[in-house]
Structure 1
Amino acid sequence: MWSLALLFGLVVCTLSVPTGRNSPAFAIEETAEWIRYEGYVAETHNVVTHDGYILEVHRIPYGRFQTASTAKRPVVFLMHGLMAASNCYILLGPQNSLAYNYADAGFDVWLGNARGNKLSRRHEELDPDNQKRDFFDFSFEEIGKYDVAQMIDYVLEYTGSEQLHYVGHSQGGTAFLVLASSLPEYNAKFASVNLLAGVGYQNYFPSLPLRTLARLTNTIYASAVALGLVEVAAPSFFRRGDDDSIINAVPEDEYLSELSTITELLRDGADDSDNSNMFGGAALKQIAHFGQNIRDKTFRRWDYGLLENRRVYGSVSPPVYDLSLITSNVTMHYTVSDVLLDERDVLAMVNDLPNARARKVAREDFSHLDFVAALDAKELLTDYIIESTVQIENLRSTGK
């Protein structure tokens, strides 16, 4: 029977709390409490998109053990990857987490959440439980063009800033590429952009087995939707039996128990621990959109099929995202051990972006998840990002 292994490794931020931490376990829904526990002020804001999704955004306005500041702090916005949430940027604790390090360096830090994850699983009209097909009918395009765009606008208006600095991991990078190429006017709102394994071009997708499975994307997705399987709410998507086999909570999708790819990925962070709440959840269509791009070796909009493409786009093929329209100051950080993004695709994107550079992480076995989960990410990545952001702010303050 066909499978949903299309979910494969694109579940890119299903994280467990790194070992060695002594803090209490906090659920995703307790992200603000977690931030306060670590000694920071935490605010929770709700941003309503034009199509009714209610997005939860977290703010860390000051450094550790500070409760006020008279100085206007430059703004940075952090966007998580697929299947993750805003807490992926605080997992490593006050000493090593990107969000905390930015706050301690004098920045006003905002953490976004995409529609459909546990923190943004709300809508003004749609019920995500009883109207699943309508609620979860979105891909990374809507997250970029609608969610990120409106969160950016909200943050700039709230802080009275003209620009902010953007950091996006994996799909958080994809969302930026979609937004800045589809709505080029947004480029003026970014003082700098750092993409951490930002997924875009897929000409050289590294995994042959996953590349092979991606050929079934449309069939898998259509069949899943017919069964009502539109939300990937891992790890509750599965439950484990007494014999350690994977049993699905929904009888109609017992065939999913055949899979090893997705279940093994999920159990890495969820097996017999309190870390299962690190999964943010997503729409299956997000993953299917990545699958289409891998299958077609391109970076383009959702493929409806020949006839519907002609009706929606005016052409039989979906339009590509034109990266030449992205004029923002972009740094693409990558690793040669990434199973989801090939170095050649990163360099091709940098070549097509008018104002971009590539930076390879100086550890050969640095992985896709290590960007937000590895303790040495601070010395290999975080310190560089913050230092470069501070330099940009210094130049902006002098008018250069």
Structure 2
Amino acid sequence: MVRGVIIFSLFVCGFSLPTRREGFSIFEVPEQIKSHGYQAERHHVTTQDGYILEVHRIPFGRHQSSSDVRRPAVFLMHGLFSASNAYIALGPEFSISYNLADAGFDVWMGNARGNRLSRNHVSLNPDSDKFDFFDFTWEQIGMLDVAAMIDYVLEVTGEEKLHYVGHSQGGTAFLVLNSMRPEYNEKFTSVHLLAGVGYMNHFPNAQLRTTALMTDIIYKTALATGFVEVFPPGFEASLPWGRTTLADRCTGRIDTQHMCEVTGVQHLLREVPDEGSSNLEIFAEDALGGGALKQIAHYGQNIRDRTFRRWNYGILENRRVYGTLTPPAYDLSLITADVTMHYTVSDNLLDERDVLAMAADMPNTVVRKVARESFLHEDFAVAQDVKELVTDFMIESMLKLEKL
């Protein structure tokens, strides 16, 4: 049973994390961008419920410090427990953010609440108030964080609309935002979801579907031990490297070390994929974003229930919060933005049938299968051929819409 749980939790949404250690901390993203020859800016955005988010900007192309022409804005959102560094980790030649900047775009990269770049709040302390601070899922990330960052980018740039790129949970956040706050559909010129996780009627891994039945038990057990945050600040030094792996440090506490195994971190990070299948490697200890364990639990509920819906509190609390015995499903028919859903047939976290079903329910959505059969879920962020197979297409379509 434990082995099944190991496979389950953190594997449900796919990390979009940096590929190799380049000697820079997650806290030095702007500095790394500058070292690659680009201008970089650090911005902070406060959500309506008080979370303070860090946003990074690449306003010009490489070795440029100004521009006489309009540069359309594009906003990129990372995946589960990742951060903005995922979009620069492949370096100037292959990273999506750099490719977009060189193509003439004003590039903005968001960071979700709770990751180590957005671990701040106007009143809550993430350490002493951790149960309140980390009481969120990707619903709040989409409906509040992404909304606030989109509004901020549009205000700063003076643009009426922008382009959106979201990988994995970054796609989930978009689906949540635009189904629950459909007025935001008008703020996007185009949207590119890279393995955007939503419908789970055909979740591709049978063993994970079975263990997802234990989601609520796993989450309640974790809460009882005080484990609410994954990869907190300082987790790198929490245990001696000689006897532990990075996965063992996911709670930052030796007394809850076992919870890393229960929630699946050990399984996810213990192996490097076969040579040639991906550029994903064991991650540098200071490159991880982190976040709330409840994000995993929400995905687990949806895998278990074969649906895409809001957090399940249980029958009594659902009735109080939602007025129904079960959580409402996200209504994707309300998403009217121009969306392209990029997917791969080798994705172990998102089935082609679910992608096609989502696209069928969204009025202005098309699907695009990645041309490499072996392309994986994480390859949208970590494979060098993502430029050839995905990014070049995105850039061409964006420029076409902008008539540039």
**1:26-65 superposed matches below 5 A:** 26-65=24-63
Work out whether 1:156 is the aligned partner of 2:154.
yes
Counterpart for residue 172 of structure 1: 170
Q: Is the partner of 1:201 in helix, strand or coil?
A: coil
1:250 aligns with 2:253: yes
Aligned: 1:379 with 2:381: no
Q: TM-score, normalised by structure 1?
A: 0.92
Which segments of 5 or more consecutive residues in structure 1 lack a partner in the other structure? none
Q: Kindly provide the amino acid, as one letter, of the partner of residue 102 in structure 2.
A: D
Which position in structure 1 is the counterpart of 2:340? 331
Counterpart AA for 2:295: Q
* Aligned counterpart, 2:266: 263
Separation in 2, partners of 1:333, 1:232: 28
Shift of 1:294: 0.3
Distance 1:97 1:45, change over 3 A: same
Q: Write out per-residue CA displacement over residues 161-195 of structure 1, whole angstroms, 9 at most, x where no aligned residue.
A: 10000000000000000000000000000000000
Change (3 A) 1:313 1:257: closer
Equivalent positions of 1:1-400 (< 5 A) are 6-10=8-12, 12-13=14-15, 15-18=17-20, 24-233=22-231, 236=235, 239=239, 242=242, 249-256=252-259, 259=262, 261-268=264-271, 275-394=284-403
Counterparts in 2 of 1:28 and 1:268: CA distance versus 1, 3 Å: farther
C-alpha separation between the residues in 2 aligned to 1:14 and 1:75? 22
Q: Please list every run of 5 or more consecutive structure 2 residues that lacks an aligned counterpart in the other structure.
A: 273-279
- Specify the SS of the correspondent of 2:235: coil
Deviation at 1:288, TM superposition (A): 0.4
The C-alpha deviation readout for 1:221-265, integer Å capped at 9, x for no partner, is: 112112211111179388467555775653542433655942132
Structure 2 CA distance for aligned equivalents of residues 278 and 36 of structure 1: 18
Q: Distance in 2 between matches of 1:164 and 1:360?
A: 24
CA distance in 1, matches of 2:218, 2:24: 35
Letter in 1 for 2:389: L
Match for 1:253: what amino acid?
A: T
Change (3 A) 1:252 1:4: farther
**Shift in alpha-carbon separation, 1:196–1:14, aligned structure 2, 3 A:** closer
Letter in 2 for 1:236: F
Contact kept, 8 Å, 2:42 with 2:57, in 1: the verdict is yes
Percent identity among equivalent residues?
Answer: 58
SS across alignment from 1:193: strand
For the structure 1 residues 261 and 160, does the alpha-carbon distance in structure 2 shift closer, same or farther, using more than 3 Å as the test?
A: same
Deviations 1:113-163 (A, max 9, x none): 000001001111111111110100000000000000010000001111100
SS of 1:278's equivalent in the other structure is coil
Distance 1:382 1:241, change over 3 A: closer
TM-score, normalised with respect to structure 2: 0.91
Change (3 A) 1:45 1:127: same
Distance in 2 of aligned mates of 1:273 and 1:208 = 26
| Offset, 1:209 | 1.6
SS of the aligned residue for 1:275 comes to coil
- Give 2:339's aligned amino acid: V
SS class of match (2:11) = coil
CA contact (8 A) 2:309 2:327 kept: yes
Distance 1:230 1:5 in 2: 19
**Residues 326, 221 of structure 1: CA spacing in aligned structure 2 closer, same or farther, 3 A cutoff?**
same
Tell me the amino acid that sits aligned with residue 382 of structure 1. Answer: T
Contact 1:339 1:368 in 2 (8 A): yes
- SS, match of residue 219 in structure 1: helix
Q: Which amino acid aligns with 2:17?
A: L
| In structure 2, distance between residues paired with 1:378 and 1:254 | 38
Say if 1:362 and 1:380, in contact at 8 Å, map to a contact too.
Answer: yes
Q: RMSD of aligned C-alpha atoms?
A: 2.3
Change (3 A) 1:4 1:228: farther
